[in-house]
Amino acid sequence: MATTQVQTVNTTADKVKLFGAAGLVIVSLVAYYALAKQGSLFQWLGLLVGLAAAVVVFLLSESGKSLVAFGRDSVKEVKKVVWPARKEAIQMTAYVFGFVLIMALFLWLTDKTLEWVFYDLILGWRK
């Protein structure tokens, strides 16, 4: 049985890094609007530089390192997946479409039969 560990930000330095990353995001947004008179090139440059700095600060924190490790583990797991061959995928897709068509016909016939029984035979509303 796998145990899950909930990780929280414990150290003050890690909290400072996370708040710093959030602050850099806010500063980059403010810079984007503050640089409106300098032109769109400077606006976008200020925004992208600020966001890149925020990402770097975040990746240096424990949460960022955990995110990178999770990404690596996810890539390893996806590489372990055995993907179906083209022929098998087409056959399975055809089975699904066939089943959906048969179920649609069955439900339509059931609906029409119940409609006929209730409205025509029992209630007599369609006469």
Q: What is the pLDDT of residue 121?
A: 83
Same domain, 19 and 70: yes
The per-residue DSSP string of 105-127 comes to: HHHHHHHHHHHIIIIIIIS-TT-
CA 65/CA 74 separation, integer angstroms:
14
Domain enclosing residue 113, as ranges:
86-127
Task: Name the residue with higher pLDDT: 114 or 1.
Answer: 114
Same domain, 6 and 48: yes
Q: What is the pLDDT of residue 124?
A: 78
Same domain, 95 and 109: yes
pLDDT in tens, 60-103: 999 999 999 999 999 999 999 998 999 999 999 999 999 999 99
Interval 96-124 mean pLDDT = 94
Tokens of 16: 């400072």
Residue 126 has pLDDT above 80, yes or no: no
Same domain, 65 and 94: no
Same domain, 72 and 57: yes
Q: Looking at this protein, which amino acid is placed at residue 49? A: V
Q: What is the pLDDT of residue 11?
A: 84
Same domain, 54 and 98: no
Same domain, 72 and 32: yes
Q: What is the pLDDT of residue 1?
A: 56
Angle between helices 62-80 and 12-34 (to 10 degrees): 90
**How many structural domains does the chain have?**
2
Q: What is the pLDDT of residue 3?
A: 60
Same domain, 66 and 9: yes
pLDDT in tens, 2-52: 566 666 656 888 999 999 999 999 999 999 999 999 999 999 999 999 999
